[in-house]
Structures are given as structure tokens and as C-alpha cells.
Amino acid sequence: MIRTTAALTLALALPAGAFDFAQPIACTLGRDCHIQNHFDRDPGPGAADVACGHLTYDGHDGTDFALPDLAAMQAGVAVLAAAPGTVRGVRNGMPDIRVTDPAAPPLEGRDCGNGVAIDHGDGWETQYCHLRQGSLTVAPGDRVAAGQQIGLVGLSGNTEFPHVHLAIRKDGVALDPFAPDPASACGAAPQDTLWADPIAYDPFGFTGAGFATDIPLFDAIKAGLPSPATLPADAPALVIWAAYFGPRTGDQLTLAITGPGGEVIRETLTIDRTQAQAFRAIGKRQPPGGWPAGRYDGAVTMTRDGQLLGEQSLSVTIP
């Protein structure tokens, strides 16, 4: 679903006695999941991720591996133990609901939602938050192997989107797996990380794109709005939309549709504010006599300072 061309691997020196951690989610970064929030490297009231970017918030003490929409969560995506160890604690009974939903129960200190804590020995611990209600497959005292499923990605606790929050601690101190030296500032030269396999820092990515007959609601996109394979010739409009994470003020988003008779619509939009997630859409009303039959191709690109950040391509047929 996601294709991204800009990626940097950033890190710093490892603390003594460190070992490797595996990706804690069964998905492919840049295709069907992404990192929405990184560890906050700013020691003050501000926030900065490992690359001095905005993919974090003040005090965020982990890494958020996110799914593109609720449909992906409902299909079931496994949360995996990042390293071998012993399960220290679990919670499994909180509902999957956005924290801002009026029906959400009070957190009462349970911001992690459904979660698992694993002791890896020598002062190392990992915590996995926001798991799906009833999905946990481990109990306190269980021994787990690296890569073993411990639950499913959910929407429990203090969250607005489906993801697993991975926190890594050494002797009670939370560490950034991309830059584990607590004293280091953001943007330092890459060296070692806590990852068993390299994980790229991606400043931007598309989480979805599609055709529609009207401008969709963002809530529908976040629920998992499918792009149709066909549209009727009498569709009131032909719309192309794109959803993405990490947009920054000044980025350039281009959306275009080309049909049997040539270009239907093309527009380049300047992003007017930095956000965590967003979407945009453009469209054209039905022409007299309806839409010509044939294939319609959509193309979406995002650039920053003249450099391509990501692109999407899609198609729909009008019989």
C-alpha cells in the first residue's frame, strides 16, 4: 500500500551491555505499516525525533509502529516479542476505542491499554502497548523467544490510531532504539542502533490512495476506505484522494488523473501546515454525456525542497 523513497538510518553509540531487538510487528515497513512516532529527543518542553523532525511529541518514550487503517487492525496483525525473555506482566481486557471517543472508558492510569512487559535480564525490559482486546497469547512467567507472537495490534488505552508502542528500558531508563545514548542530541551522525536488522527513519509516507465519486471523509479513510475497481459512467464526479503521515509546511502534493482521452485533472497543492497525519483530494464533475469508457490512471507524488518523498499509482475502469 505504501511506497516511500526517502529514508535515512540514524543512530548513536550503544550503551554497555546492549543487545539487539527485532521489529515488534509482523508487517513490512513502507508497505503495510509505518513508524508514526519516534522517541522524543528534546530534553525540554519541545519535541524532536531522532532526525530533529516532527514525528514525535513531548515526552514520548517509545516507537509507534502503526497500521494504515482500522481495517488492517481488524484483519489481525501480530505483535512480536522483540527479544527473548520472561513475561513480567500483562493486561488484556480494555476495549479497542479511540481515547477521544465519548464512549471510551476512563484510563485511570492505564494509558498503555492492553499490553505486555517482558524482562530480558541484566536490567533490560520491553513494553508493548495498545494491543487488541483479548488477543494476548502469553501470561506472566512465560518464556518467550524473539519473534514469538504475544498478541495483536489494537486500539486500546491512550491512542487515536491502531499501533503497537514499543518501549525499551535499561535499568528503568527509557532508550531510543535508533539512538540509544540518552545524552545524545537529535540529528547526530549514524553509528549503532538497538535494532537486530536496520530500520530506516522515514520522514514521510503514503498510507493509502484511492478513487471515489465524492470527496471522502477522513474518518472513512482511517476506517479503511477501499478504492473501487470500477465506477459507473454516470458517476457524479471522479475524485482521487491520498492519505499520508509526516507532511510538513511547504511540501508539494501533486494529484492527477489521466483517462482514455488524456488528462482529466491535475493539481499541485502546497501543504499549509505540519501535521502527524492528513489527506487531500481533488476531483472533476461528470462531463456532458457521462464518463468515456476505459481505464483511468491516478498518480500521486509528494516532494520536499525539490526532492521526491513518495509516490502512489492506481487505476479504475469505467465499463
What mean pLDDT is predicted for residues 23-41? 98
pLDDT at 188: 79
Give the CATH superfamily of 205-318.
abc- transporter (atp binding component) like domain (2.70.50.60)
pLDDT at 154: 98
Distance, CA of 208 to CA of 242 (rounded, Å): 6
18 has pLDDT over 70? no
1 has pLDDT over 90? no
3-state SS assignment for residue 303: strand
19 has pLDDT over 60? yes
Distance, CA of 210 to CA of 240 (rounded, Å): 6
Q: Mean pLDDT in the chain?
A: 94
pLDDT tens digit sequence for 72-118: 999 999 999 999 999 999 999 999 999 999 999 999 999 999 999 99
pLDDT at 5: 39
Topology of the domain comprising 34-175 = Glucose Permease (Domain IIA) (2.70.70)
Residues in contact with 227: Cβ distance below 8 Å, sequence separation at least 6, in sequence order: 209, 210, 211, 212, 314, 316
Band (pLDDT 50/70/90 cuts) for residue 9 is very low
What mean pLDDT is predicted for residues 18-43? 94
Q: Kindly list the domain boundaries of the chain, sorted by start residue.
A: 34-175, 205-318
pLDDT tens digit sequence for 107-156: 999 999 999 999 999 999 999 999 999 999 999 999 999 999 999 999 99
